[in-house]
């Protein structure tokens, strides 16, 4: 398949899971009605971003795979005849949880899953308390639309993950995300952070000659502890082409469904000119497996 129509659902979330799910479903239906063959949902889209604090009660939100989310969105994929990338808090076993993206095929079946590999632990993003690092590696998921290089949020800052997905034959890179500003930061600092987020992901497109799809949540979610104003998620979902060019972009404040076309044949054309894979010095990269070179 050379031409692919993709949809990204950028939404705000609240404490009512059912209303969040209905927003996701409505976004998928809108994207499908506009011709989308592949629809990507944001990270942990069924609820608030609970990792602002450490609270054992939040583990009650986790679910199994297969489970309620894969059943619901699988049925929707089958009904609409499209591929869906969804995100959930996976309960693998008692005391063992993951931040997991699940790809649902057009017939409603589970095409595959990706468990978030890089887990942050920063003020307002206490994910190490909740999520075990992924153990499925950087492996693309085969679908009827191509090989999807699905990663999750904090993974987007690491060129190694994007490169390994590309080396394994991914046709595009996909990043469901939850990232935002601290409302107390100065405007220029907020802008630098957002610009860095956009730049690093576009660099993955350039370095690997692949389209990049990134979908982020939007809106203010208060800190349950009251220790901070909360997180103002900056939206800015986008699709970039294999030279980092903008194909489609969403705003920073509003819910939005982006639908656009991707020409997958451009990856081959770009890689014939910018042959980064050919010129990699794999004979001298052993130190990349070290934490640091002293």
Mean pLDDT of the chain: 97
Q: What mean pLDDT do residues 201-225 have?
A: 97
What per-residue confidence (pLDDT) applies to 48? Answer: 97
What per-residue confidence (pLDDT) applies to 143? Answer: 98
Give the confidence band of 51 by pLDDT, cuts at 50, 70, 90: very high
Q: What mean pLDDT do residues 100-124 have?
A: 97
Q: What mean pLDDT do residues 175-181 have?
A: 97
* Cβ 275 vs Cβ 267: under 8 Å: no
Instruction: Judge if pTM exceeds 0.95.
Output: yes
- The first and second tokens of residue 7, run together, are 């949809």
Q: What mean pLDDT do residues 239-259 have?
A: 98
If we measure between CA atoms, which residue out of 269, 271, 280, 191 comes closest to residue 236? Answer: 191
Compare 1 and 250 and report the one with higher pLDDT: 250
What per-residue confidence (pLDDT) applies to 1? Answer: 62
- All domains in the chain, ordered by first residue: 3-279 (3.60.110.10)
Q: What mean pLDDT do residues 10-27 have?
A: 98
Catalytic residue positions, numbered: 43, 116, 153
DSSP symbols for 183-231: TTS-HHHHHHHHHHHHHHHHHHHHHHT--EEEEE-EEEE--TTSSS--E
Q: What mean pLDDT do residues 89-102 have?
A: 98
Cα(284)–Cα(268) distance, integer angstroms: 26
Give the pairing type, strands 146-150 and 141-143: antiparallel
What per-residue confidence (pLDDT) applies to 23? Answer: 98
Checking if the pLDDT of 222 tops 70, the result is yes
């Amino acid at each position: 398949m050379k031409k692919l129509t993709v949809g990204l659902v950028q939404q705000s979330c609240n404490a009512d899971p059912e209303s969040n799910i209905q927003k996701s479903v409505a976004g998928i239906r809108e994207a499908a009605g506009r011709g989308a063959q592949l629809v990507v949902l944001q990270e942990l889209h069924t609820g608030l971003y609970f990792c602002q604090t450490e609270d054992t009660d939040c583990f009650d939100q986790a679910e199994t795979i297969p489970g309620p989310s894969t059943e619901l969105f699988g049925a929707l994929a089958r009904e609409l005849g499209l591929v869906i990338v969804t995100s959930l808090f996976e309960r693998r076993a008692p005391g063992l949880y993951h931040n997991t993206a699940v790809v649902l095929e057009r017939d409603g079946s589970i095409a595959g899953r990706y468990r978030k590999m890089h887990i942050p632990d920063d003020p307002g993003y206490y994910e190490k308390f909740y999520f075990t690092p992924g153990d499925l590696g950087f492996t693309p998921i085969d679908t009827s639309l191509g090989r999807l290089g699905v990663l999750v949020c904090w993974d987007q800052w690491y060129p190694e993950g994007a490169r390994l997905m590309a080396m394994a034959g991914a046709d595009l890179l996909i990043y469901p995300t939850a990232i935002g500003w601290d409302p107390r930061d100065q405007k220029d600092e907020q802008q630098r952070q957002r610009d860095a987020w956009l730049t690093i992901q576009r660099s993955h497109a350039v370095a690997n000659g692949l389209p990049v799809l990134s979908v982020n949540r939007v809106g203010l979610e208060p800190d349950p502890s009251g220790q901070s104003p909360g997180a103002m998620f900056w939206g800015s979902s986008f699709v970039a082409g294999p030279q980092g060019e903008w194909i489609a972009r969403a705003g920073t404040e509003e819910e939005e469904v982006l639908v656009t076309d991707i020409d997958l044949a451009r990856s081959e054309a770009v890689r014939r000119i910018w042959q980064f894979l050919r010129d990699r010095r794999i004979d001298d990269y052993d130190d990349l497996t070290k934490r640091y070179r002293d």
